[in-house]
Amino acid sequence: MKLSNKNVIYLICSLLTMVLILSGCWDNKDINHRLLPVSIGVKKVDDQYLVILNIPVPIDGSMETKIVSAKAETVSKAVDTISRNMESDVDLLHVKLIFIEKETAEDGINDIIAGFMRSRDVSPKALVAICDEDLQEFFNNIKINAEKKGLSTYNYFEKNAGWNPDIALTRVWEVFRGIHSYTHDVAIPLIRSGKDTTMDQIGSAILKRGKMVEQISSNETLLYNVFKGESGNGKMEVMEHATVMLLGSKTDNIGRLVNNDAHMESLIKMRVVILETKGEPSLNLIKEEINTLISERYNKLFTKLQENEADVFGMGQFFRNQIPRDELKNWRSDYFKNMKININVKIDIQNEGYLKTT
Amino acid sequence: MVRSLHVMIMYVLCHLGLIFFMFPADIIASTEQGHWFPILIGIIVHFVCLLTYMKGLSFFPTKDILSIFSKSKKGVTFLFFAPILLYLIMAIIITVRAYAEIVTLVFLSHTPLWTIILLLLSVSAYISYKGIEAILRAAFLLFILFFPILLFVLIMSFQNVDWRYAIPFDTDLGFISKPAYFESYFAFAGGFLFLGFVQPFFSYERKNVILSAIFLIPFFLFSVYIPILTLGQASASKAFLPFVLIVDSINIDWLMFDRVTMFFLLSLIAFIILYLSLSLWKAIRIINYYIPKSRPSYLLFGLSVAIFFVCFWIPDWKDVENILFMNSFLRSYVLIVVPLFIYYIGRRLKRKDTNETI
């Protein structure tokens, strides 16, 4: 194609305009003028929110942690106050962890979660954890740990790093679902700062409709993860005669409605390997022991959940085809509370290591 | 020139751009359970209209929808074309305004709205200035570039699905009376009109267009069902853009990009720009038919400027929704009256021809 002079002029003009547009420079803030917090802590003090941000700042090749806080009527206002007082702009785009203080969680976190869901910066896949000590102190300990011992908070929950099967992994969108859903509640990791480690996990908090109602242990959290289909891979169980390691697990559930009462049959299949034994127990004895241990633990957990009417396992999901939607609204109080559960555990011992077991 | 493949791709891309945004929210708002039914009805209506329209057009193999009426008086045909023109212009306004808002909502939260409107309009006006040939070629290129990304994100969005949320299946006709349901037809009615405009330039086989319409069915279903299956009806109904929210909560450990939403959105925006250029081109064809003396490029420029100011003048989202609802009447005209009328004229012409030959 031959270009006339007029066309060349047009072309150059349009290309130059594109340079102006494509730079996108009107309100752009460069990366060195932004602060990207990795975790955010929220606590309710009277009618105000105390927001604490944990901001890693790279200085001379190493990471320093900056802890800043502000108090305001809403979370976003508090973040804005921090942003105003800092020399750079605070951008919540990379927040990975949200800590909420226990007392606040007991009051209900619906508004906080809704705020995070509504906001365009905080990703709905950020993790939520509940902090079982004073938030300010917790963040200060994190800072000390991070600077003196080089421990980071975020890797604690990463599946490909520090995560363990007895830590609940709950994301903002799951908490949001738990608030509105008729049949789903969530468990959230309950943590406090550790002496030698960044965090100590003490169990999980049970959230019912966005309110913390109960606390369960790490062992029980494992059951929660197993039930959710999250792998329990690598978790040890110590019993009287043997120590086994969990390799994999699967649950099959059948929900039936008999005379308007919910009945649940669940079959938990677990694959284990034997690590240590005491004395010379037979395979059957070991199986028997695991069986009792797991079913007892499950039953105890269920009783606890039923008392609180909090369905963290999403059991109601198995009754969706039997209970009409209008009645499903009251699933927690009408059905789940009096649900009969029959748990069967099936153990497969995959191998016994280099030594034989009789 | 036979360009079935290009027409097929254009047909698919136009609809893909429209499906994933407002459509899921509208369907979720229009019924509480059994979402497959409203979607199915929409798809059936879509197919019936498409088939009638194409059958009608097939009576005039070398003519486009405008030249079919070349023998009739212009005043009479104006009555037929004025609503189509009005519909096209309104659809352009709604699309530009809505997608500009979505862009600000999801990633450019600080950028002023008018720049995004300007960008969307100027690019699509430029493509449409180059004519239908350029539009279809661009569609081919965009399809190769972006469709794999879209497919990847779509497959990944099944990550958090709980299939039991699909139950209960039973449904009622209550959605018929909901305004949201009529707004959802925006996704069905948007694309198919262009088949009547391309004919003298390109010919296509009817079978292929039907194939691409069949190809779209899973996209219609999944765009609604993925949010439902992940969040449940009760929570999904709280979301403004349910599908985007789900894409935002996808967590992929092995991917180096943190948020796949960006890829998803940018590919869809590219499709939308294509849809806009096609609509602009159609509108200009109609206007040019009635004002034959003016140059199409001036008309295009004038129309784009007018649309820009109207978009700029719409203050908030509620007004966009109102216009979308008002547009329903024109939409049903385009969806029902236009295909039927074309079919009727075609049949009459054929009968006349056969009578004459006898």
- Mean of pLDDT values over A26-42: 81
Of B232, B34, B249, B246, the C-alpha closest to A317 is B232
Domain ranges of chain B: 4-357
- Mean of pLDDT values over A112-130: 87
A192 and A282 together in one domain: no
A173 and A278 together in one domain: no
Q: Which chain A residues have a beta carbon less than 8 Å from that of B251?
A: 125, 171
Q: What is the pLDDT of residues A203-224, one digit of tens each?
A: 889 988 888 888 888 888 888 8
Q: Which chain A residues have a beta carbon less than 8 Å from that of B232?
A: 177, 180-184
Residue A23 within a domain: no
CB B227 within 8 A of CB B236: yes
Residue A166, pLDDT above cutoff 80: no
**pLDDT at A232 (0 to 100):** 63
**pLDDT at A323 (0 to 100):** 84
A69 and A211 together in one domain: yes
Residue A97, pLDDT above cutoff 80: yes
CB B65 within 8 A of CB B57: yes
**pLDDT at B51 (0 to 100):** 92
A165 and A297 together in one domain: no
Residue A83, pLDDT above cutoff 70: yes
CB B168 within 8 A of CB A325: yes
Q: Is A61 helix (H, G, I), strand (E, B) or coil?
A: coil
Q: What is the pLDDT of residues A132-156, one digit of tens each?
A: 888 888 888 888 877 776 556 666 7
Q: Which residues of B169-190 are buried (b: 16+ CB within 10 A; e: fewer)?
A: eebeeebeebebbbbbbbbbbb
A181 and A243 together in one domain: no
A193 and A222 together in one domain: no
Chain A, 62 to 101: residues with Cβ < 8 Å from chain B are 94
Task: Give the closest-approach CA distance of A344 to chain B in angstroms.
Answer: 22
A349: which strand partners?
A: A272
Q: Is A282 helix (H, G, I), strand (E, B) or coil?
A: coil
Cα–Cα distance measured from residue B285 to residue B289, given in angstroms and rounded to the nearest whole number: 6
Residue A356, pLDDT above cutoff 80: no
**pLDDT at A24 (0 to 100):** 61
Residue A209 within a domain: yes
Residue A163, pLDDT above cutoff 80: no
Q: What is the mean pLDDT of chain A?
A: 83
Residue A15 within a domain: no
Distant-in-sequence, close-in-space partners of B243: CB < 8 Å, separation ≥ 6: B20, B21, B24, B157, B223, B226, B227
Cα–Cα distance measured from residue B285 to residue A284, given in angstroms and rounded to the nearest whole number: 82
Cα–Cα distance measured from residue B168 to residue B166, given in angstroms and rounded to the nearest whole number: 6
**pLDDT at A324 (0 to 100):** 84
- Mean of pLDDT values over A252-271: 86
A245 and A203 together in one domain: no
CATH of residue A330's domain is: 3.30.300.210
The answer, for A177 touching chain B at a CB cutoff of 8 Å, is: yes
**pLDDT at A164 (0 to 100):** 75
Q: Which residues of B193-216 are buried (b: 16+ CB within 10 A; e: fewer)?
A: bbbbbbbeebebeeeebbebbeeb
- Give the count of Cβ contacts less than 8 A between chain A and B: 70
Provide the number of structural domains found in chain A: 2
**pLDDT at B278 (0 to 100):** 93
> What is the number of other CB atoms lying within 10 angstroms of the CB of residue B84?
20
Pairing of strands A97-101, A199-208: unpaired
**CATH node for B4-357:** 1.20.1740.10
The percent of residues above 90 in pLDDT, for chain A, comes to: 5
Cα–Cα distance measured from residue A219 to residue A34, given in angstroms and rounded to the nearest whole number: 41
Residue A1, pLDDT above cutoff 60: no
Contact at CB, A320 and B162, closer than 8 angstroms: no
A41 and A88 together in one domain: yes
**pLDDT at B86 (0 to 100):** 92
**pLDDT at B271 (0 to 100):** 93
Residue A287 within a domain: yes
pLDDT tens-digit profile, chain B (358 residues) = 677 888 999 999 999 988 998 899 999 999 888 889 999 999 999 999 999 998 888 888 878 888 887 777 777 888 888 999 999 999 999 999 999 988 888 877 778 888 889 889 999 999 999 888 899 999 999 999 999 999 999 999 998 888 888 877 888 888 888 888 888 888 888 778 888 888 877 888 888 899 999 999 999 999 999 999 998 888 899 888 899 999 988 888 888 887 888 889 889 999 999 999 999 999 998 998 888 888 888 889 999 999 999 998 888 888 888 888 888 888 888 888 889 988 988 888 888 877 766 5
A240 and A184 together in one domain: no
**pLDDT at A2 (0 to 100):** 63
Cα–Cα distance measured from residue B288 to residue B299, given in angstroms and rounded to the nearest whole number: 8
Which of B110, B167, B249 comes nearest A124 by C-beta?
B249
Range of the domain at A284: 218-351
A56 and A193 together in one domain: yes
A103 and A135 together in one domain: yes
**pLDDT at A151 (0 to 100):** 58
A54 and A198 together in one domain: yes
**pLDDT at B202 (0 to 100):** 81
Contact at CB, A318 and B164, closer than 8 angstroms: yes
Q: Is A297 helix (H, G, I), strand (E, B) or coil?
A: helix
Q: Tell whether ipTM is more than 0.95.
A: no
Residue A186 within a domain: yes
**pLDDT at A259 (0 to 100):** 83
- Mean of pLDDT values over A151-170: 72
**pLDDT at A52 (0 to 100):** 92
**pLDDT at B283 (0 to 100):** 92
